[in-house]
């Protein structure tokens, strides 16, 4: 049996992972990461259910006590602020829509946890992710979870393959319902705890409020240019005023605050122009495209992609079912994905995850 450092958020999944590792006889150390200063992020919530909250820390501590395992809280607020929160705000300011969980998995939940594991003499790290791992010809392959409704492989494409060699997913063969049954069997206080879907450092799920609060004092003489409002543009003509480019995303329909009687069809955000501080609008059909380019590509299943291309299924957002496509390697860390049929709202800044069957090939950030 091995010494394992387990990331504990205080939720059902990581708590059950702890119980399963203990059942298997591993020497388990629980670690909860403090990722932000609660007084700095705003939101004014009386009860924070996010994965890295004070409530989560307390729940994780109670579970660790119940299972009789060591538990530590590690302060990574500085690193998390630099790697994740700054990335989140900077990406919105460039007119793109970030995916902070993908970056957090790579830089915090794996890279930082492995450094801590080395300090504690742990051979492996573990998390409560719903995904499967297998060793194939010396390479670790990530594949979809046994529970299709909880599969989390989309957010794992950026994890370095060498880090996966030291990773355990105790829940890889469990469904969420089965995990809750395990929690109840072990008398864990979190057995019926609700899921948390919001971004951990945006407690109230209002990212506009968060950006305003965080960026209002960053620019000399006032708020950043991108937050100062600008023009809605339709077919080359100005049709109204928007609140700030970062407050919109490609494909958005609701919350535009705009009515154009001469254009009765629903309007959608089709593009963001940070340089000219404009939000471009159009009809639904203008959102469809057959091709994307991605950067910061990370491959898991293969070391390289064939020059002739690889047939894959590509997901362009977490809830996306995926669609048939061909991926071609480009110069550097870039790829081009060409879909067999048009896809709606391919959004810059979001991730594209590539699959062969259930296996996660890798992914990148959409340009």
Q: What is d(CA 249, CA 48) in angstroms, rounded to the nearest whole number? A: 26
Q: How far apart are the first and last CA of the chain?
A: 44
Which of 325, 233, 221 has the alpha carbon at shortest distance from 276? 233
Active-site annotation holds for 122? no
Q: What are phi and psi of 314, to 5 degrees?
A: -115, 135
Which of 162, 157, 109 has the alpha carbon at shortest distance from 131? 157
Do 169 and 132 form a contact (C-beta atoms < 8 A)?
yes
Active-site annotation holds for 52? no
The SS3 of residue 73 is: strand
Residue 19 parent element (H or E):
helix 12-23
User: What is the gyration radius of the CA atoms in the chain, in angstroms?
Assistant: 22
The SS3 of residue 195 is: coil
Residue 4 neighbours by CB under 8 Å, 6+ apart: 21, 26, 27, 28, 29, 122, 123, 124, 125, 126, 168
- The single residue of 51, 52, 101, 104 carrying the catalytic annotation is 104
Q: What are phi and psi of 231, to 5 degrees?
A: -105, 135
What are the angstrom distances between the C-alpha of 111 and each of 8, 107, 138, 175, 214?
16, 5, 21, 27, 26
Which residues are catalytic, by number? Answer: 104, 200
């Amino acid at each position: 049996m091995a010494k394992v450092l387990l990331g504990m958020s205080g939720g059902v999944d990581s708590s059950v992972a702890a119980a399963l590792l203990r059942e298997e006889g591993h020497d388990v150390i629980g670690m909860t990461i403090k990722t932000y200063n609660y007084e700095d992020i705003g939101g004014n919530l009386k009860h924070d259910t996010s994965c890295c909250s004070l409530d989560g820390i307390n729940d994780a501590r109670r579970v660790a006590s119940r299972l009789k395992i060591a538990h530590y809280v590690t302060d990574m607020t500085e690193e998390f602020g630099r790697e994740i929160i700054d990335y989140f705000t900077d990406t919105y300011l460039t007119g793109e829509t970030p995916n902070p969980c993908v970056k957090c998995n790579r830089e915090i939940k794996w890279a930082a946890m492995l450094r801590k594991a080395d300090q504690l003499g742990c051979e492996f790290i573990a998390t409560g992710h719903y995904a499967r791992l297998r060793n194939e010809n010396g390479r670790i392959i990530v594949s979809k979870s046994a529970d299709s409704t909880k599969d989390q492989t989309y957010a794992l494409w950026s994890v370095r393959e060498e880090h996966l060699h030291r990773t355990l997913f105790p829940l890889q063969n469990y469904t969420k319902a089965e995990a809750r049954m395990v929690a109840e069997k072990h008398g864990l206080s979190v057995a019926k705890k609700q899921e948390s879907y919001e971004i951990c450092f945006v407690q109230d799920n209002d990212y506009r409020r968060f950006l305003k609060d965080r960026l209002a004092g960053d620019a000399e003489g006032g708020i950043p240019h991108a937050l100062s409002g600008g023009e809605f543009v339709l077919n080359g003509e100005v049709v109204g005023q928007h609140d700030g480019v970062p407050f919109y995303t490609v494909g958005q329909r609701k919350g535009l605050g705009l009515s154009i009687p001469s254009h009765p069809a629903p309007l959608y955000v089709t593009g963001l122009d940070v340089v000219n501080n404009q939000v471009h609008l159009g009809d639904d059909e203008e959102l469809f495209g057959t091709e994307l380019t991605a950067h910061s590509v990370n491959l898991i299943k293969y070391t390289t992609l064939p020059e002739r291309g690889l047939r894959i299924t590509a997901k362009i957002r977490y809830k996306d079912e995926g669609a048939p496509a061909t991926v071609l390697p480009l110069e550097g860390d870039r790829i081009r994905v060409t879909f067999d049929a048009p896809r709606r709202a391919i959004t810059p800044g979001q991730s594209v995850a590539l699959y062969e069957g259930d296996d996660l090939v890798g992914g990148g950030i959409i340009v």
